[in-house]
Amino acid sequence: MGFATTAIHSGQEPDQTTGAVTVPIYQTSTYAQDGLGKHKGYEYARTQNPTRSALETNLAALEGGRFGFAFASGMAAIDATLRLVKAGEHVVVSDNTYGGTFRLFTKVLANYNIEFDFVDTSDALNVEAAIKPNTKMVFVETPTNPVMIVSDLRQISEVAHRAGARVVCDNTFLSPYLQRPLEFGVDIVVHSTTKYLNGHSDGIGGIVVLNDETDAAWIGFIQNSAGAILSPFDSWLVMRGTKTLALRMDQHDKSGRAVAAFLEEHPKVRKIYYPGSASHPQHALAKRQQSGFGGMIAFDVGSLEGARAVLESVKLCTLAESLGGVETLISHPATMTHASVDAEKRERLGITDGLVRVSVGLEDTDDIIADLDQALNNM
């Protein structure tokens, strides 16, 4: 089946009891049993819920994986994935990773004797050089948040697997419609379902998708034991979102390209970060590895004062954290998504005080461009 067909039908078969074409919201904490040890496959809603199970089936199919596990947030999904790493082991991470991931790794998990090295994963040789005898995982974000660095998933997977390490890819920025990391040798894919998979800025969630049965059993055990599960209603919201994922991503990609082209030519913009631009250093790799470039763009206006002028002058774009919704969202990474990263490292990574990030929404493209234009001209 094609992607759109899978998105609409996988895990979302009509309800056997009523024939409802939409998976019901099973808003229950427990399930009646016919007798001791006699139940219908469901005992307690932290452990199993039919709505959540349907979503997990759906998202695993979209990523081309065998197993899916839905969590209460993208960070909960990442945290569960890192439970595959034990004390005394080592993880290599993309240095320009999401601020919440950086905070979890350096401020929480590092306290439990897990070692992290942050490297520029745009070159697989950097990954290879960072691998140690105790390296058990390589955690890659591609494109990175917010300066859109692209990493070669196939090369990194080959390097990591030679060392006996798993590869995890955060695929939030592109969704499985535009990038399928498992096809390039990646072992585990994580998403914040809050973003493109949900697509409507009305729910928080996360997903882990993988193929290895042993690792899947452990992730499932963690999901049940720690209990950071996605609620039935939020599971239903994400399934509502995936039904239109193909259509939405096509438009995000189309508008993203147009907005990026406009920004690249604007005299007030000093630098643009967008893999779809021919000036991007990994443009050729993005064309090979992705089926599109998406709607995430960052651009630098040179100063905090300039960024503030833009962010406070927009009328259509919404100043807010998050991304991937139907509305265009605009943010300031240095003080918002990446505030947990120290200033020196932010500057080194290109997350300057003048950097602005845009999640291009589904409004008319000309209206988005006109709003950014008037805001830039207010600098």
The residue annotated as part of the active site, out of 42, 46, 212, 271, is 46
Continuous segment of H or E residues that includes residue 4: helix 3-9
Q: How many CB atoms lie within 10 A of CB 162?
A: 10
Q: Which two tokens stand for residue 351?
A: 């997350």
Q: Which two tokens stand for residue 58?
A: 């759906």
Q: Which two tokens stand for residue 344?
A: 């020196």
Whether the Cβ atoms of residue 186 and residue 153 lie closer than 8 Å to each other: yes
The residue annotated as part of the active site, out of 26, 98, 177, 196, is 98
Report how far Cα 157 is from the mean position of its chain's Cα atoms: 19
As a whole number of angstroms, the distance between CA 7 and CA 62 comes to 7
Whether the Cβ atoms of residue 140 and residue 122 lie closer than 8 Å to each other: no
Continuous segment of H or E residues that includes residue 189: strand 188-192
As a whole number of angstroms, the distance between CA 365 and CA 343 comes to 34
Three-state SS at 36: coil
Q: Which two tokens stand for residue 117?
A: 């090295």
What separation in angstroms does the CA of 151 have from each of 238, 252, 281? Answer: 27, 21, 11
Nearest to 193 by CA among 292, 107, 68: 68
Q: Which two tokens stand for residue 112?
A: 């439990």
Burial (0-12, 13-18, 19+ Cβ within 10 Å), 328: buried
As a whole number of angstroms, the distance between CA 332 and CA 258 comes to 21
Three-state SS at 116: strand
Whether the Cβ atoms of residue 31 and residue 42 lie closer than 8 Å to each other: yes
- Residue 46 bears catalytic tag: yes
Q: How many CB atoms lie within 10 A of CB 312?
A: 10
As a whole number of angstroms, the distance between CA 186 and CA 211 comes to 10
Nearest to 296 by CA among 245, 339, 346, 330: 330
The residue annotated as part of the active site, out of 136, 195, 268, 346, is 195
Nearest to 70 by CA among 222, 214, 184: 222
- Residue 136 bears catalytic tag: no
- Residue 274 bears catalytic tag: no
- Residue 195 bears catalytic tag: yes
Active-site positions read: 46, 98, 170, 195
